[in-house]
C-alpha cells in the first residue's frame, strides 16, 4: 500500500517547501527551465513531485542523478545542490551539462560568439551541399506523392558517397540524409557539430551541443524519437513530413542557444558538478558516502539506446557501424532494467550499493513497469533491512506515448520509493 495523490491535487502551493536554515535539507526546484528534447519518461511535468520526494530523504550533501536521461533534474536543481549526473548514454552528459553550465562571457562577447558559430556552421554546410549537389533536394519544388518518394529515395543514396579525405564532419550528411532529416538539414547538423568540437572542455560546448540536439529533435520528421523515420504512404503523410523537411536547423539552434544562455545567467551555479557516463553499478561504487540518490531506471522492455541512438552518435561522432532502416548503431547498450528476467537482480544490486554507501534513495517507477511495485518494495525491504525506512507513494498523471500506436497518452501512477537511513 502507498499514499496516492492526483496530479490535479498536487501543486506547488501544497508542496512542503519549508527552508531549514540549520541544515539546508529541504529542496525546491527552479521554475521554467528550458526544455531540450522530446524524451520518453521525462519527469518535467511532475518535477515538483519528484523533488519533494528527494527532499524528504535529502542528507544535505551531493545529489546523484543515477539515470539522468534528458537531464531534467539538473535543470530543476541548478544552483541548489552539488550534483553528480550519470547515464550510460553519452548524450545525457551534454543535456545535464547545458543546464549546469557557467558562462563567464559578457553579453557582447556572447553575441559575437553566436554570430561566429552560425557563420562557420553555414560555411561547412555549404561545402557539404556542393559535394552532394546531385542528391540535395529542394522540397519546395515537389508537388506530388510520386515526386516526393523519388526525392526521398535519392537523398538516402548519400550513404553510398565516398567523401574526400580532406573533408571531415560529414557523418550525418552521409548516413541520415532523407531519413529523420533532409540532406540540407544534415549538412547543418554536421556544420554545428564541427564548430562545437572546437569548444570542447568549455561549458559553452554543452550549450552549443544541447541547442543542436533541440534543433534536431524539433526538425526531425519522426515521432519524437529515432526508432524509425516515417515513409510517405499517402498524400496526407507526405504533407506532414514536408512540414519538417522545410524547417530550418539554424532557427531552432539560435532560439535554444539564447534561451540556455539566459537561463545560465539568471540562476547562478556555484555548486560542484560532475558528469559520468557509466553503468549504474560503477557510478554507485565511486560516489561519496552520504549522498542522496535519485534513480529513474527504464520501466519497459524497450531500450532507450534504440530511441535516441542518433543523439548518441552526434555526441560520440565516431562514424559507427550503422545498420537497418532506423540507421541504428550496432553497439547499442542493453539495460538489465528493460529485461524482465534481469530486472529484479538489477534492483537488488542497486539497493545494496546504495546501502553500502550509507546513502538515501528516491526511486521513480510506474505501476505499468516491467515488474510490479509490490515486488520492488519487497526487494527494497530485503536489501535495506531494518536500518532503513521504506515508503512508497504515487501520483496519478497522463504519460505521453511518444507517437506509439493507440492513444497519445495513458493514465499511469508514477511511484516514488523512498529509502532513508534511520
pLDDT of residue 411: 63
**244-248 average pLDDT score:** 94
**39-48 average pLDDT score:** 83
Q: How far apart are CA 319 and CA 396, in angstroms?
A: 43
Structural contact between residues 273 and 100, judged by C-beta atoms closer than 8 angstroms: yes
Q: pLDDT tens-digit profile of 267-293?
A: 999 999 999 999 999 999 999 999 999
**72-100 average pLDDT score:** 96
Domains of the chain (ranges, CATH numbers): 3-87+273-298+340-421 (3.40.50.150), 107-264 (no CATH)
pTM of the full structure: 0.89
Which cell is 29 given? 526546484
pLDDT of residue 19: 36
Instruction: Give the Å distances, CA to CA, from 220 to 42, 175, 257, 260.
Output: 19, 14, 18, 21
Mean pLDDT of all residues belonging to the chain:
88
Q: How far apart are CA 213 and CA 36, in angstroms?
A: 7
Which of the four pLDDT bands, split at 50, 70 and 90, describes residue 306? low
- Secondary structure letter of residue 29 according to DSSP: P
Amino acid at each position: 500500500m502507498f499514499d496516492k495523490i492526483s496530479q490535479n491535487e498536487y501543486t506547488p502551493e501544497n508542496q512542503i517547501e519549508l527552508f531549514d536554515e540549520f541544515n539546508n535539507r529541504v529542496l525546491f526546484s527552479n521554475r521554467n527551465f528550458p526544455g531540450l528534447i522530446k524524451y520518453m519518461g521525462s519527469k518535467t511535468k511532475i518535477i515538483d513531485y519528484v523533488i519533494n520526494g528527494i527532499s524528504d530523504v535529502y542528507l544535505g550533501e551531493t545529489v546523484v542523478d543515477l539515470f539522468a536521461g534528458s537531464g531534467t533534474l539538473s535543470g530543476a536543481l541548478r544552483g541548489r545542490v552539488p550534483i553528480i549526473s550519470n547515464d550510460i548514454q553519452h548524450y545525457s552528459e551534454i543535456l545535464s551539462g547545458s543546464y549546469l553550465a557557467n558562462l563567464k562571457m559578457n553579453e557582447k562577447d556572447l553575441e559575437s560568439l553566436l554570430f561566429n558559430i552560425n557563420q562557420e556552421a553555414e560555411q561547412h554546410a555549404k561545402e557539404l551541399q556542393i559535394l552532394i549537389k546531385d542528391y540535395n533536394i529542394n522540397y519546395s519544388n515537389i508537388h506530388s506523392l510520386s515526386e516526393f518518394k523519388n526525392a526521398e529515395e535519392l537523398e538516402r543514396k548519400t550513404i553510398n558517397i565516398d567523401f574526400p579525405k580532406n573533408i571531415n564532419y560529414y557523418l550525418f550528411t552521409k548516413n541520415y540524409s532523407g531519413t529523420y532529416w533532409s540532406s540540407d538539414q544534415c549538412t547543418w547538423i554536421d556544420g554545428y557539430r564541427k564548430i562545437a568540437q572546437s569548444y570542447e572542455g568549455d561549458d559553452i560546448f554543452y550549450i552549443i551541443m544541447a541547442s543542436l540536439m533541440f534543433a534536431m529533435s524539433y526538425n526531425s520528421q519522426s515521432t519524437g524519437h529515432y526508432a524509425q523515420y516515417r515513409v510517405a504512404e499517402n498524400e496526407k503523410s507526405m504533407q506532414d513530413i514536408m512540414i519538417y523537411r522545410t524547417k530550418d536547423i539554424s532557427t531552432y539552434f539560435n532560439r535554444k542557444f539564447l534561451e540556455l544562455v539566459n537561463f545560465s545567467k539568471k540562476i547562478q551555479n556555484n555548486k560542484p558538478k560532475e558528469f559520468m557516463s557509466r553503468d549504474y553499478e560503477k557510478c554507485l561504487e565511486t560516489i561519496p558516502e552520504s549522498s542522496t540518490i535519485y534513480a529513474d531506471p527504464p520501466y519497459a522492455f524497450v531500450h532507450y539506446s534504440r530511441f535516441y541512438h542518433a543523439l548518441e552518435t552526434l555526441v560520440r561522432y565516431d562514424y559507427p557501424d550503422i545498420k537497418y532502416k532506423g540507421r541504428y548503431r550496432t553497439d547499442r547498450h542493453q539495460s538489465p532494467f528493460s529485461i524482465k528476467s534481469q530486472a529484479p537482480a538489477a534492483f537488488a544490486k542497486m539497493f545494496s550499493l546504495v546501502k553500502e554507501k550509507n546513502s538515501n534513495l528516491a526511486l521513480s517507477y510506474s505501476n505499468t513497469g516491467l515488474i510490479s511495485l509490490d515486488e520492488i518494495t519487497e526487494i527494497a525491504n530485503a536489501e535495506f533491512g531494518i536500518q532503513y525506512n521504506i515508503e512508497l507513494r504515487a501520483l496519478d498523471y497522463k504519460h505521453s506515448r511518444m507517437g506509439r500506436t493507440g492513444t497519445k497518452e495513458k493514465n499511469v501512477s508514477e511511484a516514488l520509493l523512498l529509502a532513508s537511513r534511520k
